Amino acid sequence: MAEKSFETTSQVCCSTGSESLPILASPMESPLRKVLSRISGFVPSWGKKTAPPGRRIFHRDVEQDEFQNGTAHCLSSYYSVFVARLAIMVMLAILIGLLTVLTWHFTRVYTTKSLNTLAYGLRYELLQRPILRMWNILNSTSEITTAQVKLSEYVIRRYSKPTNQAEQIELYQMMKDITWALFASRKALNAITINYRNGFVQAFHRDHRSNNTFYIYSDLANYSISDTGSYDNKSQSSRQGWNDQFIHGNVSAIWYRQPLDPLTGEKIGKSSQIPPEDLINIAGPSQVPDGVASWHVAVSKYTDSPLLSAALPVWDASNKSIVAVVGVTTALYSVGQLMKELVEVHSGYIYLTSQEGYLLATSTNTPLLNNTAKGPKLMMAANSEDRVIRMGAQWLQKTYGNKFPPGHVVHVEKANLGGQHYYIDSFFLNLKRLPIVGVIIIPRKYIMGKVEERALKTLVILISASVCILAIGCVCILILTNGVSKEMKLRAELISHLDARRRAEASSNYKSQFLANMSHELRTPMAAVIGLLDILICDDCLTNEQYAMVTQIRKCSTALLRLLNNILDLSKVESGKLVLEEAEFDLGRELEGLVDMFSVQCINHNVETVLDLSDDIPKVVRGDSARVVQVFANLISNSIKFTTSGHIILRGWCENPNVSSDSGKFSPDQKKPMSALKTKLKHGNHMKKVSKKDNKMILWFEVDDTGCGIDPSKWESVFESFEQADPSTTRTHGGTGLGLCIVRTLVNKMGGEIKVVKKNGQGTLMRLFLLLSTPADGLEQQRQIDFAKHSVAVILALHGSMGRLIMSKWLSKNGVPTLEASEWNELTQILRELFHARTTNSGFDTHYSLAKPLRSKVQTLQDMKKLVYIIVVDLGLLDLSTEIWKEQLNFLDKFSGQVKFAWMLNHDTSNAIKMELRKKGHILMVNKPLYKAKMLHILEAVIKESYVEPQNRSPNGTKGTSKQGDSHECLEIDSTQFETCSSDDSDISEMTGANSVSSVGIREQLKEGTILKSGPPTLRNCLVEFTRLGLEVNNLRTEEDQCNGRPKFHDTKDVKCENPNSSEQPLVRSNVKDRDNSYTTNKAASEQKSLEGLRLLLAEDTPVLQRVATIMLEKMGAVVVAVGDGAQAVEALNCELDGDENRTNRLQTEICDSPPYDLILMDCQMPMMDGYEATKAIRKSEERTGWHVPIVALTAHAMSSDKEKCLKVGMDAYLTKPIDYKLMVSTILSLTKRSTKG
Amino acid sequence: MDLVQLQRQLVDYRTSLYHEGFLDEQFTQLQELQDENNPDFVVEVVSLFFQDSERLLNELSKALEQQIIDFKRMDAHVHQLKGSSSSIGAQRVQKLCIVFRNYCEARNVEGCLKCLQQVKHEYALVKTKLESMFQLEQQISNAGGSIPV
């Protein structure tokens, strides 16, 4: 039963689940729906309540959903769960109740039935026994009577004719003996009487109460023997007289009673005369009128129970007349006794009545006879003194009246007698002359009492048990549904989460789509800005200052573009799809550029930006330069944001035991990094092992600022997305909190770590290490000029104390004596000290103002002869607000013979000042900030100049020699410029040569300006593997550098030949994009045809594009075959393969077994057969030949996923539309070179 | 008319086209490709563009009139239009094509119809602009002057 109910519960639960979760699998829906509808039929209100939300959820609005889901969903599920529970409980209750009732009912019915049958049997049996006894009594009585009659007949016949008195007496004596014998043999007999015809009576009588036996006889004297003779004659006539009345009325007769010994029959007393009323019943001839035996019930005064008397006539020998009447009387007492015994055992009441209703025997002790004046009389059962018998008899009388059912058989199971229930059964015993009715009354309680009691108890137990089960079931259901509903809720949540995730994914998909579109939209205006700037830079009417400014704008724009690209790249970083490129780059120079860029920002903040790289850092490392720069750019910009005064130092050193031992001598604060190293040793240990094997180096960097600092508790969390140390910073400083997150992701990607380190003093110290590999040949260090040899000394007159300190330490390490001055007065003191002392040999007047250590330094310098002094002067030392600076300049000019001045300019240094400086012959001008590379260059320039000086020196040095002019221009532009004129430039350009694909990375492209000028026609041989964004950046960088390179080129031209070529001029002014073109037109025709001799197949469906691309390529000298779709392309290729002869005719130079085309440009989206399909087909057909024709995809989709798709089908490279001329050429070249090589 | 004036007018006109966003650097590139080998290259390509675009626009109009609109086909057409317009530097048409494609992908009939109208409008605009520019160039070359770059 329990199982069944659980089954139903689970079903119901499922259905409720489906209701509250309509998003569940729909195929499951329909069967469950049916169940549900059935249930909701039971509870109609519920169905109405819950159905609408279900439908609503099905047809919901995506926007509405979020809002409504919360409330409606919750409510409906609450209702449904509640109602489901209720329904289950009700059903369970009904089930259990039904079962209980049924069980009880059946058990009771069966018990009652069996009990009833049993009880019936019992009752029957009970009644049967007294009846049987009665029957016995009757039988024995009749037997005795019959025996008596037979004996009497025999005796009388023997003495048939008594002739005399003696014979008569003898006869009577004989009769008396016989009768005694019979009487004695039956103890139960009450009396035996013999009434002779002549009126003589002989009788034996037993008085049961007194236990006496008597012989009663009438007086013989009154009877004559003669009489007897006449008796026969008058038998018929005098029958009337021979009756009871005669006997009783026979007053003349005297009755005697003689007590007898009950056993022997001897006379034990004298016979006494007794009054007639004391007589017992003596059967007379009246009782046998028709001569047959008769029965009747009589009463006697000696017994209180009715007597059964039988009478039989004794016929004479001729059998014609009755000679005597024999009567036998038996007491019914024994029947009553039996009944009493029975009742004692079985309880209840039994009585026997005659057909008329006279009581014959009862099981009670109440008297059966009425004592009237006339003597005892029989009593009706309805008048019995016993209450139960009386009521039973009355009940029977009332119910049946006189119309008893045939046979008087009645079975009544529930008779209400005086407020109690009884069984009443009656039986009929049909005796001749004496029909008897037996009635048994048994209290119902006796038989069914226990049963009913038990049944009641069972019922109570059953009910309580079922209530218990119900309660437990309800609890179980509650628990079960609770669990199920919880699970359902969880599942619903899961589903909604999945849904949300799917939507989020979709939206992020939209986002990336959007970004892809936006990237195009954003880059276009930026490209325009950069292009316009390039045009402006090309304009030669700009002053140098303007030029510098424009260059700065140009750089910033490039940075902005790079930033844009980086932002677009962010999703890639976040999703971990970012692939770092592996290319060689000059780490130092990247960082210098970065510091240059940020110093512009810092100057306004009064913050000093210092770059402090130790000498052991390898010049060239392999890695992703853009990402490395991004890391530091983010870190520095972050520092700048929070630093209002002080400095920002970017420190770098290398953890490489072999190198650090000899050249790791320079670091501003050596203890700190070393100790840090030690603390990190554990960490870096395994890294070291790796690094040795792979030629990898661990490069440590620190970004140290004096800003507001970060709370130690936030040191970890600042690297999380959208996390800022202080929420209020967004208000004051702006920013999204993404910067550091990107930094950490990138650093981790490069095998490094970043964390915030405790710092002495104010500010934040971020320390990170990167795992970068150096090129295989790369450990040979950059050339070190032995400055000590050249005997130079440097006076650093700079504002920023940190930069000055670091620089002076570095210089001292490299054997260059340095002096420091932080302000104008100090500088003048030093100068006076140095030179006045030397010239006049007495500097005592100024001694006081110099501090002791400085003075000692000065003196040691004085001791050294022939020193070349270089004074690096910060323009900020001069008082620029007034006109004093001119005087200060004049003052300095006095020393110009002995020292070289290098000026540190600000970005906003006015043109007038520059002009003035130039006029004074100060040609070494460097933009702030000062770092090693710039210092190195100053030193080199001075040293060179000092060599040149003796031969060729003009006092007004403005562009005195082209070389000088050159270098001065370079210095003024920025750090990237002096690379071009530095000594190692030429080797690199030589090395670059024709193919720089593998060995040189981005850097080489910087020199393209020069390469183009002098070298063979190598255009950008970009690695095709570059990511698209990387390409974009590189491309822009090359543009930038070209722009930077350009003016120099023109300047020299301008210097050399006053009239520039008329054809060149407009070309130079034209757009950025055509620079290559303009270059090529400048050069000889042979040089411009970079694609000379290449056979290209162009598959492009758009006629416009087809035409444009064809012309482009043909201009570069390539042979182009254009087709309209992919199918044609495949066909064209196969045709060429088949038509070998044709091909050889046309291209005799080609070797026969090489592919017909050097390269295929394939549009991706084409009718008939798109680019992907075509590529697949081509690649398949190539399997036979073993060729590999490079295929370049052309697509208008700017997504990287398209790129992957392209590469997957077997394309080699990827170009986006609109076609970028240069990029296309470089891609084609790299692919064709590679393929011909391979 | 004075030749110099004509030339100035042409330069101004061309600049205005760039400024108003009708053309972008792609057109400049196109012009650079024109040399003595292909003296009428720009006109040739642009007229190719006109032919192609008109065909595509007709196709698109037809496709949109259909009971069941084949968005995939329309998308391909718009893609082509976008490709060709970007190749000649008609960037306003090109940008509209981007929007148009989004509508196609979203199967937005109303958006497509709207976009088609806009594209047609832009196309007509750029066509007249370019034609008048070519007319000017023609005048200049007829007058014997060189076309300023």
pLDDT score at A497: 92
pLDDT score at A234: 36
A528 Cβ under 8 Å from any chain B Cβ:
yes
Alpha carbons A1173 and A124: distance in angstroms, whole number: 109
Among the ranges given (A7-21, A59-73, B93-107), the one the predictor scored with the smallest mean pLDDT: A7-21
Which tens digits make up the pLDDT trace of A1157-1209?
888 888 877 777 778 888 888 888 877 777 778 888 887 665 556 677 777 88
- Best mutation target among A1108, A1166, A1220 (most B Cβ atoms within 10 Å) is A1108
Alpha carbons B35 and A1112: distance in angstroms, whole number: 11
pLDDT score at A512: 65
Which residues, at least 6 apart from A100, have a Cβ–Cβ distance to it below 8 Å?
A462, A463, A465, A466
Distance of CA A888 to CAs A833, A895, A911, Å?
17, 12, 18
Average pLDDT over residues A32-44: 47
Average pLDDT over residues A825-834: 81
Average pLDDT over residues A651-655: 85
Q: Which residue shows structure tokens 């789509």?
A: A513
Which tens digits make up the pLDDT trace of A239-291?
434 444 444 444 456 778 888 877 777 777 777 777 765 666 676 666 666 66
- Does the pLDDT at position A498 exceed 90? yes
Among the ranges given (A112-126, A663-677, B87-101), the one the predictor scored with the smallest mean pLDDT: A663-677
pLDDT score at A287: 67
Q: Cα-atom radius of gyration of chain B, to the nearest Å? A: 17
Alpha carbons A241 and A1090: distance in angstroms, whole number: 182
pLDDT exceeding 70 applies to what percent of chain A? Answer: 62
The answer to whether residues A745 and A574 touch, using CB atoms and an 8 Å cutoff, is yes
pLDDT score at B149: 65
Which tens digits make up the pLDDT trace of A691-748?
444 577 888 899 888 888 888 888 887 887 656 666 665 555 545 566 787 788 888 8
Which residues, at least 6 apart from A1144, have a Cβ–Cβ distance to it below 8 Å?
A1150, A1152
> Considering chain A, what is the average pLDDT of its residues?
68
Nearest-neighbour CA in chain B from A930: distance (Å): 39
Residue B36 pLDDT level (bands cut at 50, 70, 90): confident
pLDDT score at A1196: 64
Give B87's contacts in chain A (Cβ within 8 Å): 1102, 1104-1105, 1108, 1217-1219
Give B84's contacts in chain A (Cβ within 8 Å): 1102-1105
Give B149's contacts in chain A (Cβ within 8 Å): 1066, 1070
- Does the pLDDT at position A375 exceed 90? no
More confident residue, A401 or A1024: A401
Task: Judge: B44–A1218 Cβ closer than 8 Å, yes or no.
Answer: no
3-class SS of residue B17:
helix
- Does the pLDDT at position A516 exceed 80? no
Neighbours of A1147 (CB within 10 A): 15
Alpha carbons B81 and A834: distance in angstroms, whole number: 77
pLDDT score at A948: 62
- Does the pLDDT at position A9 exceed 60? no
The contact set of B with A (CB < 8 A) is 24-26, 28-30, 32-33, 35, 38, 41, 44-45, 48-49, 51-52, 76, 79-80, 82-84, 86-89, 91, 95, 98, 149
- Best mutation target among B51, B55, B80 (most A Cβ atoms within 10 Å) is B80
The answer to whether residues B116 and B94 touch, using CB atoms and an 8 Å cutoff, is no
Give A1066's contacts in chain B (Cβ within 8 Å): 149
Judge if the upstream peptide bond of residue A929 is cis by omega within 30 degrees of 0: yes
The answer to whether residues A1036 and A562 touch, using CB atoms and an 8 Å cutoff, is yes
- Does the pLDDT at position A357 exceed 50? yes
- Does the pLDDT at position A182 exceed 50? yes
Task: Judge: A1111–B38 Cβ closer than 8 Å, yes or no.
Answer: yes
The answer to whether residues A77 and A492 touch, using CB atoms and an 8 Å cutoff, is yes
- Does the pLDDT at position A1003 exceed 50? no
Residue A495 pLDDT level (bands cut at 50, 70, 90): very high
Neighbours of A549 (CB within 10 A): 15
Among the ranges given (A445-454, A948-957, B37-46, B70-79), the one the predictor scored with the smallest mean pLDDT: A948-957
Give A527's contacts in chain B (Cβ within 8 Å): 25
- Does the pLDDT at position A492 exceed 50? yes
Structure tokens, B92: 């306003």
Find which of A164-178, A665-679, A775-789, A1044-1058 is predicted with most confidence, using mean pLDDT. A164-178
- Does the pLDDT at position A876 exceed 90? no
Distance of CA A215 to CAs A74, A199, A202, B73, Å?
113, 16, 8, 148
Task: Judge: A1107–B82 Cβ closer than 8 Å, yes or no.
Answer: no
How many Cβ pairs closer than 8 A exist between chain A and B?
A: 77
Give A1165's contacts in chain B (Cβ within 8 Å): 76, 79-80, 83
Find which of A405-414, A632-641, A895-904, A977-986 is predicted with most confidence, using mean pLDDT. A632-641
- Residue A950 phi, psi (nearest 5): -55, -40
Residue A690 CB-density burial (10 A; 0-12 exposed, 13-18 middle, 19+ buried) = middle
Question: Pairing state of beta strands A696-705 and A646-655?
Answer: antiparallel
ipTM attached to this prediction: 0.77
Of B45, B86, B89, Cβ closest to residue A1107: B45
- Does the pLDDT at position A496 exceed 90? yes
Sequence-ordered strand ranges (E) for A875-1000: 899-905, 924-927
Which tens digits make up the pLDDT trace of A1205-1218?
777 888 888 787 66
Nearest-neighbour CA in chain A from B33: distance (Å): 6
Alpha carbons A627 and A623: distance in angstroms, whole number: 8
Q: Which residue shows structure tokens 């300019």?
A: A905
- Which secondary structure element, helix H or strand E, spans residue A204, and what is its range? strand A201-207
Distance of CA A92 to CAs A18, A83, A461, A466, Å?
22, 14, 19, 10
